[in-house]
Amino acid sequence: MKKIILVTGGSRGIGAAVAQGAAEQGYAVCISYLHNQAAAEAVVATIRQNNGEAMAVQADVALEDDVVRLFRQVDATWGPLSALVNNAGVLARQARVDEMDSARIQRILATNVIGSFICAREAVRRMSTRHGGSGGAIVNLSSRASHLGAPGEYVDYAASKAAIDTLTIGLSKEVAAEGIRVNTVSPGVIYTDIHASGGEPQRVDRVKEAIPMKRGGYPQEVAKAVLWLLSADASYTTGATLDVAGGR
C-alpha cells in the first residue's frame, strides 16, 4: 500500500527535513505552508528530482476550513494518509507575560494547539479502524520549553507546547486500539528560522553552553527521531515523548 504522509509546515526547518527524509523512505509527501510558497516549492522540487512524490499546499492550520481542504487535497491526489506530522508552529517576539496582549496569545494557541488538534482529528477520521481506516501514526512536535517555561521569552509558546504534550497522552490512549500510534518529539534548540521570529536569530548560539552537549541541534537530527516514531520499528511505542535536545 502506498505510504502517504502530511507534514504541516514543511517548507522550512524541521518540517522540510522530515519531508525530505520521508520521501527517501518512499512516502508520497504532502507539505503544507503558510506564506512561503517559494520555499515549499523548492522542497517539492528537490524531492521530485530524487524521483520522489511530493506536493505543497497552502493552508493555515489555524483555520479549520483550510485544514479540511488540505486533507481533502491529499485524499483526492493519493488517497487516505497513513502518517501525520503536526509540525507547523510559531512563536512571537521575546516578551514577558506582563507585556503580552491577547491577540498574540490567541495566534500562538490557534496555530500550535488548535491547528494540531484539528489536523489530528482529520487524520484520525481517515486512519482509525473505527472509521474504516487501516491505521497510521501521528507525531506531534512539542518543545523542551513545555517543561522549562521559557521565562522572559515566550511563556505563551511554552504553554502551547504543554498542551501538545497532553494532546499526545490523551489521543494516544483514545486511538491505541484503533491502529493509530501517537507520539511526541520534543526538540531543544535547533538551528532554524524560528528564532528570528522571536527577534533573536542567533539565539541557539547564545544558549548552547547551557546544553549538556554544548551545541545546538540540526533539523535532520529531529527528523530522524520523527521518522523512527512513524516507522514500524516503533510498532509498540505510543504516547511517548522523545527528547532531541542534546541532554536535559
Site map (CB under 6 A) of ligand NAP, residues 137-176, x = contact: ----x-x---------------------------------
Going from the C-alpha of 7 to that of each of 22, 31, 140, 209, 229, the distances in angstroms are 10, 5, 10, 31, 14
The smaller minimum CB distance to ligand NAP, of residues 6 and 61, is found at: 61
Residue 211 cell numbers, joined: 546544553
- DSSP H or E run through 6: strand 4-7
Asked whether position 33 contacts ligand NAP by CB under 6 A, the answer is yes
* Residue in 234, 236, 216, 214 with CA at minimum distance from that of residue 224: 234
Q: Does 32 bind ligand NAP (CB under 6 A)?
A: yes
161 CB neighbour count, 10 Å cutoff: 29
With cell 507525531, the residue in question is 139
Return the range that interacts with ligand NAP (CB under 6 A); candidates 94-102, 148-156, 186-194, 224-232.
186-194
CB-CB contact of 90 with 197 (8 Å): yes
Minimal distance, residue 133 CB to ligand NAP, in Å = 24
- Stretch 54-73: interaction string toward ligand NAP, x if CB under 6 A: ------xxx-----------
Considering CB under 6 A, how many residues would be counted as binding ligand NAP? 30
If binding is defined by CB under 6 A, does position 11 make contact with ligand NAP?
yes
Stretch that binds ligand NAP, among 34-42, 119-127, 170-178, 226-234 (CB under 6 A): 34-42
| 87, 128, 172, 238: residue in contact with ligand NAP (rule CB under 6 A) | 87
Order of strands across the sheet with 241-244?
Answer: 53-58, 28-33, 4-7, 83-86, 136-141, 180-187, 241-244
Minimal distance in Å, beta carbon 178 to ligand NAP?
25
Identity of the residue, 4 or 14, whose beta carbon is nearer to ligand NAP in the bound complex: 14
**How many whole angstroms separate alpha carbon 234 and alpha carbon 123?**
19
Sign of the torsion angle spanned by Cα atoms 85, 90, 191, 161: negative
136: phi then psi, degrees, rounded to nearest 5: 170, -170
14 binds ligand NAP (CB under 6 A): yes
114 binds ligand NAP (CB under 6 A): no
In one-letter notation, the amino acid at residue 152 is: G
Burial environment of residue 212 by CB neighbours within 10 A (0 to 12, 13 to 18, 19 or more): exposed
Residue 238 lies near ligand NAP (rule: CB under 6 A): no
Assess 36 for contact with ligand NAP (CB under 6 A). Answer: yes
Contact between 111 and ligand NAP by CB under 6 A: the answer reads: yes
Note whether 234 binds ligand NAP by CB under 6 A. Answer: no
Q: Reply yes or no on whether 157 is catalytic.
A: yes
Which residues are known to be catalytic? 157
Residues near ligand NAP (CB under 6 A) are 8-15, 32-36, 39, 60-62, 87-90, 111, 141, 143, 187, 189-190, 192-194
